[in-house]
Structure 1
């Protein structure tokens, strides 16, 4: 496994742990300034600030736990993509039933000037679990 692939795997793991811990700043540090998130039926969400607003809103009332199974990582120069199977459980802090979503994601990462990989585009195809 290449050093770049190891770094991307660590980015994914750090993202999951920081989200569960409610550490929005740590999650934001893993994405580029021009990050874009795409999901079915929604307009693209662009930029760190938009993501932070959405994540803070969800975390105010919930805890998010996720598992990710990396199916594929391909690195080509300063660009890479990562395809995963993602499962997300959103548990209310107020006793409501948890929400379970799962599905595939495709993330594009770019190596920044500082040598670190950052998420730049993410296509999320999660749906309610059956």
Structure 2
């Protein structure tokens, strides 16, 4: 495994743990300013600010726990893509039943001028696991 692949794996683990901890700033530090998120049936979410608003809203009422199985990482210069199988459990802070979603994701990462990998595009095909 190359150093770049290890760094991308670490980014994914940090993303999951920071999300579970409710550390929105840590999650935002892992993405480019112009990050774009694609989900079926939704308009693209563009930029850190839009992502922060959405994540803060969800975390105000819920806790998010996720696991990710990395199926593939391909690095080509300062671009990489990663394909994963993601499982997300959203648990209400108010006693409502948890929501379970799972599915595949495809993420594009770019190595920034500071030498760190950051997520720049993400498409997820999560669906209800009910």
- Give the TM-score of the pair, scaled to structure 1: 1.00
Name stretches of at least 5 consecutive residues in structure 1 with no aligned partner: none
What's the CA shift for 1:11? 0.1
Q: TM-score, normalised by structure 2?
A: 1.00
Q: How many residues align?
A: 130
Residue 36 of structure 1: CA displacement?
Answer: 0.0
1:120 maps to what in 2?
A: 120
Corresponding residue for residue 78 of structure 1? 78
- Correspondence list, 1:103-118, <5 A: 103-118=103-118
Show the 5 A alignment for 1:9-20: 9-20=9-20
How far off is 1:40 after superposition?
0.3
- Partner Cα distance (1:5, 1:93) in 2: 35
Correspondence 1:1-130 to 2 at 5 A = 1-130=1-130
How many Å separate the matches in 2 of 1:53 and 1:17? 19
Cα distance per residue 1:23-80 (max 9 Å; x no partner): 0000000000010000000010000000000000000000000000000000000000
Residue segments in structure 2 that go unaligned for 5+ positions in a row: none
